[in-house]
């Protein structure tokens, strides 16, 4: 047999209790003299009907105020559930509901347990958080995990279940369900104590899968207050195993995902976030991958949940004019890096630029400065592949280019173009690693047909900046000089003029660009070859230059001069082969039709003189050849 219940609120009432502990209805009275007359019974029924109506209206008002303020629209909808009887007031003011706990607290900044829960999430002690909201409509859940940036993120949409699916005793009608949760019975009847017990038992369901997956912490979000059944469910859920924090957001009208995003916006980072770049060895120029931390995992967020840092980005002298800035997650020295965003800025090689990077609460990375910062189009794999193994270091190198000016206009133009390509490489190298000087010595022909000889031309551009040599080569002094004698050219005179240059660098190189071999010391009748009018001895001039530390390499147009000498005496052909061989072995004699300017420099021992590929990444460690203003902020 069930225990007696209060006729007003339907809560259990012990038979000996003088009044209901819930609604204070008088259950027992003293002795009344005389019989229970119809008048007395009618008066009692009027008092009971009035008390029931008042209790129902209070429950309805409570249900209409569950979100922190009274909603008359909801209250009017609930009027159909109120009990009526003889003497029950049909129209009276709604009872005043005292301020419910949490009302007016629009944002859960002081939520209990949230800082510790977010730290456990950052430290990987929790795989995620499940925010379970309990309100007058039912239960809703939003799951938070850790995104690529190491910050909490919403994982999937909001999940929701109405109360009648959580507790089978509740009706599907939303108004009736809300009225019962508020402790009302009205025309629905019911046992509010059993509803409260069932709601409290719901905590075990909310704290287990599928509501709370394994490894996740439960955060209870109270969106209503004053509804006995909902309050019981909230209190029980807060005590359940796996619960790590609770929020009160009774007066907050925002959707649950927005409340959750606000609650985790200042969460600590799980990982360091850094800038990937390179270091350059001061002594060897070897390039190695490196990283610097931008956002340390313990770096606090701003009031809006963002983190901002200003750093100095240094560009090596051999850097590209557009630097890529890959912002990645990870720890320096560890291989597992996740690229968040790759920015791109314009830089001056050899200088530094200030870059301001912002990390939003969502984990998005933005570049706020310098102006014009953009997204890099290449992937990280493409950037890594574009990094050269080494960069040229500053060193003093003197290079002299000996250029034959004879031949057809087409042959001369091709030859000068080859010289120009070498000079362009040396000029580019000097930009990234200063110390290169270049001279150009031209040679035309000896004059064998006149009493008063007019040899030449022999223009000379002294050792100086590569750019000056490039400019000089375009002047008329270096134009095509025709060809007076097809068998040989005064290469020996050009080599002799090397001694007039102001050599000072520890590395000295002479590059010969020509077709015809040099003249012998005297006329060779067997070869039908005229001797040098200045009586320079080719072998002696080459040996003297080598003794002065000059290394030779030549771009000899062998195919052409072999064709030219096909019908010449064998002695002439032997002389040509012998003369050119004095400049070095085959490695130092390149075929200009099949060799690039870089290959010619390599043949001369200047493989490191070419500028190489520009560095696409910033310097992030100790380095050579950069200017670095003050530190980071």
- If one counts every other C-beta atom within 10 angstroms of the C-beta of residue 627, the result is 12
Quick check: 196 pLDDT over 70?
yes
Quick check: 232 pLDDT over 50?
yes
Q: How far apart are CA 58 and CA 83, in angstroms?
A: 12
Report phi then psi at 6, rounded to 5: -65, 130
Nearest to 558 by CA among 542, 580, 528: 580
Q: How far apart are CA 379 and CA 437, in angstroms?
A: 38
pLDDT tens column, 453-471: 555 678 999 999 988 898 8
How buried is 332 (Cβ within 10 angstroms: 0-12 exposed, 13-18 middle, 19+ buried)?
Answer: middle
pLDDT-derived band at 216 (thresholds 50, 70, 90) equals: very high
Residue 106 has what DSSP assignment?
Answer: -
Quick check: 628 pLDDT over 60?
no
Lowest mean pLDDT of 324-338, 394-408, 525-539, name the range. Answer: 324-338
Lowest mean pLDDT of 171-185, 309-323, 430-444, name the range. Answer: 430-444
Residue 454 has what DSSP assignment?
Answer: -
Quick check: 141 pLDDT over 50?
yes
Q: What is the structure's pLDDT at 44?
A: 87
Give the pLDDT mean for 560-584: 84
pLDDT-derived band at 610 (thresholds 50, 70, 90) equals: low
**What percent of the chain stands above pLDDT 70?**
88
Contact 439, 464 (CB under 8 A): yes
Q: Which stretches of 153-248 are DSSP H helices?
A: 163-166, 174-181, 192-206, 228-239
pLDDT-derived band at 107 (thresholds 50, 70, 90) equals: very low
Q: How far apart are CA 307 and CA 272, in angstroms?
A: 12
> Comparing 449 with 327, which gets the higher pLDDT?
327
Is the bond leading into 457 cis (omega within 30 degrees of zero)? yes
Nearest to 470 by CA among 439, 499, 442: 439
Q: What is the structure's pLDDT at 256?
A: 94
Q: What is the structure's pLDDT at 160?
A: 94
Contact 215, 209 (CB under 8 A): no
Nearest to 354 by CA among 631, 1, 51: 631
Q: What is the structure's pLDDT at 409?
A: 86
Residue whose structure tokens are 């999937």: 156
When mean pLDDT is compared over 37-41, 114-118, 566-570, the highest value belongs to: 114-118
Tokens of 335: 């291989």
> Comparing 567 with 626, which gets the higher pLDDT?
567
Q: What is the structure's pLDDT at 76?
A: 86
Q: What is the structure's pLDDT at 630?
A: 36
Contact 555, 595 (CB under 8 A): yes
How buried is 289 (Cβ within 10 angstroms: 0-12 exposed, 13-18 middle, 19+ buried)?
Answer: middle
Bridge pairing between strands 615-617 and 319-329: parallel
Residue 604 has what DSSP assignment?
Answer: T
Q: In sequence order, which residues have a C-beta less than 8 Å from that of residue 216 and are 6 or more positions away?
A: 126, 127, 128, 129, 130, 143, 242
Q: Give the CA radius of gyration of the chain.
A: 47
Is the bond leading into 210 cis (omega within 30 degrees of zero)? yes
Residue 390 has what DSSP assignment?
Answer: B
Q: How far is CA 414 from CA 70, 307, 421, 495, 515, in A?
A: 92, 59, 11, 22, 12
């Amino acid at each position: 047999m069930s225990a007696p219940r209060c006729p007003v609120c339907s809560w259990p009432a012990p038979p000996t209790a003088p009044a209901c502990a819930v609604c204070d209805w008088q259950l027992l009275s003293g002795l009344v003299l005389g019989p229970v007359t119809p008048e007395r019974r009618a008066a009692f029924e009027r008092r009971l009907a009035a008390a029931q109506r008042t209790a129902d209206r209070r429950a309805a008002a409570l249900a209409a105020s569950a979100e922190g303020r009274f909603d008359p629209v909801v209250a009017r909808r609930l009027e159909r559930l109120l009990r009526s009887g003889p003497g029950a007031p049909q129209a009276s003011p709604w009872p005043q509901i005292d301020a419910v706990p949490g009302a007016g607290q629009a944002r859960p900044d002081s939520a209990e347990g949230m800082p510790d829960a977010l730290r456990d999430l950052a430290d990987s002690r929790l795989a995620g958080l499940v925010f379970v909201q309990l309100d007058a409509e039912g239960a809703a859940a939003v799951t938070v995990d850790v995104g690529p940036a190491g910050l909490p993120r919403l994982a999937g949409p909001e999940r929701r279940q109405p109360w009648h699916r959580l507790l089978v005793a509740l009706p599907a009608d939303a108004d009736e369900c809300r009225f019962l949760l508020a402790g009302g019975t009205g025309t629905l009847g019911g046992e509010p104590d059993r509803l409260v017990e069932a709601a409290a038992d719901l905590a075990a369901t909310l704290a287990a899968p599928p509501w709370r997956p394994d490894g996740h912490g439960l955060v209870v979000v109270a969106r209503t207050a004053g509804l006995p059944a909902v309050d019981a469910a909230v209190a029980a859920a807060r005590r359940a195993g796996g619960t790590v924090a609770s929020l009160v957001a009774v007066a907050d009208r925002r959707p649950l995902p927005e409340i959750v995003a606000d609650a985790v916006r200042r969460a600590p980072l799980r990982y360091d976030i850094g800038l990937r770049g390179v270091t350059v060895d001061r002594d060897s120029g070897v390039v190695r991958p490196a990283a610097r931390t931008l956002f340390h995992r313990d770096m606090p967020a701003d009031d809006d949940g963002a983190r901002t840092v200003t750093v100095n980005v240094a560009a090596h002298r051999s850097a590209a004019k557009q630097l890529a800035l890959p912002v990645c997650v990870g720890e320096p020295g560890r291989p597992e890096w996740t690229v968040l965003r790759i920015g791109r800025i314009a830089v001056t090689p050899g200088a530094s630029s200030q870059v301001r990077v912002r990390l939003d609460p969502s984990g998005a990375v933005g570049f706020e400065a310098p102006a014009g910062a953009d997204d890099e189009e290449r992937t990280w794999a493409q950037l890594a592949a574009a990094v050269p193994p080494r960069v040229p270091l500053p060193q003093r190198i003197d290079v002299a280019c000996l250029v034959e000016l004879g031949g057809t206009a087409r042959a001369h133009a091709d030859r000068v173009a080859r010289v120009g390509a070498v000079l362009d490489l040396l000029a580019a190298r000097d930009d990234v690693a200063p110390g290169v000087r270049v001279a150009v010595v031209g040679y035309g022909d000896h004059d064998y047909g006149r009493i008063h000889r007019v040899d030449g031309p022999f223009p000379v551009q002294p050792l100086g900046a590569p750019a000056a040599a490039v400019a000089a080569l375009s002047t008329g002094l270096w134009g095509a000089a025709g060809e007076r004698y097809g068998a040989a050219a005064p290469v020996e005179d050009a080599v002799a003029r090397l001694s007039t240059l102001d050599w000072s660098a520890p590395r000295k190189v002479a590059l010969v660009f020509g077709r015809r071999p040099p003249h012998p010391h005297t006329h060779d009748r067997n070869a039908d070859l005229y001797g040098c009018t200045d009586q320079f001895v080719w072998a002696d001039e080459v040996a003297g230059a080598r003794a002065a530390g000059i290394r030779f390499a030549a771009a000899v147009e062998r195919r052409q001069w072999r064709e030219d000498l096909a019908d010449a005496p064998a002695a002439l052909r032997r002389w040509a082969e012998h003369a050119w061989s004095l400049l070095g072995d085959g490695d130092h004699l390149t075929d200009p039709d099949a060799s690039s300017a870089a290959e010619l420099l390599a043949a001369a021992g200047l493989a490191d003189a070419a500028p190489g590929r520009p560095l696409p990444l910033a310097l992030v460690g100790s380095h050579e050849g950069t200017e670095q203003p003050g530190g980071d902020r």
